[in-house]
């Protein structure tokens, strides 16, 4: 089946997003049983090492090829992932995840120890993970990350192969959303040790536990493919056989490739493209869970060290006029944090 989709992911200072999605073109009449989808990215894939990834492309690829305890679904809901269910203690500080018997792409089992190892690796000072701070609610996470406590003191323990117990410093109601993020995915210790410094630098230096396996990525190329993972526990509900990803950085080229059926989905850029296609039947709009911000140079201009000055500058911006008249690309004002 051929999917036509034009997507616009809004940006600048505001939270926003849009997408066009249509189905049914001449290629969908071919009778082919293979379900393939061609998507466009605007930048290359930097890494598949989830302990070090910080960008959107890496996060998208990790989410397609790997899976955490829980996973995000529609309407901001979390659904079972590697964990088939979980419980939270009355004081909100102990989370117990019961894992299903799932497998890595090499056929070996995914166990609670893979999560323990992954979280400890991310928090290890030598890993220098930029997202280590989101583990801060976990007992001793800050100390482990600062090198002031051993990794074994981290509040995450494997109770056998298929039960993971997490102890928090204090209740964190949104912890269920955090474990759905790539930073909390499992990592297979033997694979990390086997590949060493090459781990996560090419598709062949990885193992996967998600719906797809990454192929054809050598670390620097502008295209790669994700193929259905036959060892994924929920493979019967994965309809796509293959996803092809192509990096195209020029907005005009992107649009041309979409219109000539070389891409099934693209992102629209700027007010001109959006205004031209917003009445197209394939055009859809979605909110995008991204945060964009301006960082002021407080070192060069000391007056900006005053928080009230920075607040005043923020309050001076008419966000609705900025989104509707200046950006005019489907962005919407951010009304919360």
Q: What is the pLDDT of residue 331?
A: 83
- For 15-37, the pLDDT digits (tens) are 333 334 443 333 443 445 789 99
Residue 181 φ/ψ, nearest 5 degrees: -85, 155
pLDDT above 50: residue 257:
yes
CB under 8 A, 24+ apart: contacts of 304-309:
none
Domain ranges of the chain: 3-28+266-327, 56-237
56-237: CATH topology:
Dipeptide-binding Protein; domain 1 (3.90.76)
Q: What is the pLDDT of residue 219?
A: 96
Q: What is the pLDDT of residue 17?
A: 37
Q: What is the pLDDT of residue 269?
A: 84
Match 């002031």 to its residue by tokens. 148
Give the predicted TM-score (pTM) of the model.
0.83
- For 320-336, the pLDDT digits (tens) are 998 899 988 888 887 77
pLDDT above 80: residue 292:
no
- For 152-207, the pLDDT digits (tens) are 999 999 999 999 999 999 999 999 999 999 999 999 999 999 999 999 999 999 99
Provide the mean pLDDT of the chain: 88
Identify the band that residue 337 occupies on the pLDDT scale cut at 50, 70 and 90. Answer: low
- For 90-129, the pLDDT digits (tens) are 999 999 999 999 999 999 999 999 999 999 999 999 999 9
Q: Is 236 exposed, middle or buried (CB count within 10 Å of its CB: 0-12, 13-18, 19+)?
A: exposed
Of the chain, the percentage scoring pLDDT greater than 90 comes to 72
182 within 8 A of 49, measured Cβ to Cβ:
no
Average pLDDT over residues 78-87: 97
């Amino acid at each position: 089946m051929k999917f036509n989709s034009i997507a616009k992911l809004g940006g600048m200072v505001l939270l926003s997003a849009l997408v066009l999605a249509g189905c049914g073109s001449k290629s969908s009449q071919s009778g082919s049983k293979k379900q393939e989808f061609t998507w466009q990215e605007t930048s290359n894939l930097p890494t598949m090492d989830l302990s070090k990834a910080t960008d959107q492309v890496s996060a998208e690829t990790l989410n397609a090829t790997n899976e955490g305890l829980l996973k995000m679904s529609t309407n901001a809901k979390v659904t079972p992932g590697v964990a088939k269910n979980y419980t939270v203690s009355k004081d909100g500080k102990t989370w117990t995840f019961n894992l299903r018997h799932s497998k890595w792409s090499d056929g070996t089992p995914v166990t609670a120890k893979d999560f323990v190892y992954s979280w400890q690796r991310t928090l290890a000072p030598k890993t220098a993970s930029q997202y280590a701070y989101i583990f801060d609610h976990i007992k001793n996470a800050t100390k482990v990350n600062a090198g002031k406590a051993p990794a074994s003191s981290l509040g995450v323990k494997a109770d056998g192969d298929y039960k993971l117990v997490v102890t928090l410093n204090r209740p964190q109601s949104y912890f269920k959303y955090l474990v759905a993020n790539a930073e909390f995915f499992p990592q297979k210790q033997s694979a990390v040790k086997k590949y060493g410094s090459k781990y996560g630098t090419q598709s062949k230096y990885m193992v996967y536990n998600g719906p797809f396996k990454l192929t054809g990525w050598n670390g620097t190329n502008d295209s790669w493919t994700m193929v259905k993972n036959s060892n994924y526990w929920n493979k019967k509900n994965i309809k796509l056989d293959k996803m092809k990803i192509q990096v195209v950085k020029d907005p005009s080229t992107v649009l041309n490739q979409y219109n000539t059926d070389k891409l099934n989905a693209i992102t629209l850029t700027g007010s001109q493209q959006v205004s031209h296609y917003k009445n197209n039947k394939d055009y859809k709009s979605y909110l995008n869970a991204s945060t964009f911000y301006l960082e002021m140079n407080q070192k060069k201009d000391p007056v900006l060290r005053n928080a009230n000055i920075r607040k005043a500058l923020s309050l001076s911006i008419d966000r609705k006029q900025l989104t509707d008249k200046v950006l005019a690309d489907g962005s919407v004002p951010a009304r919360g944090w």
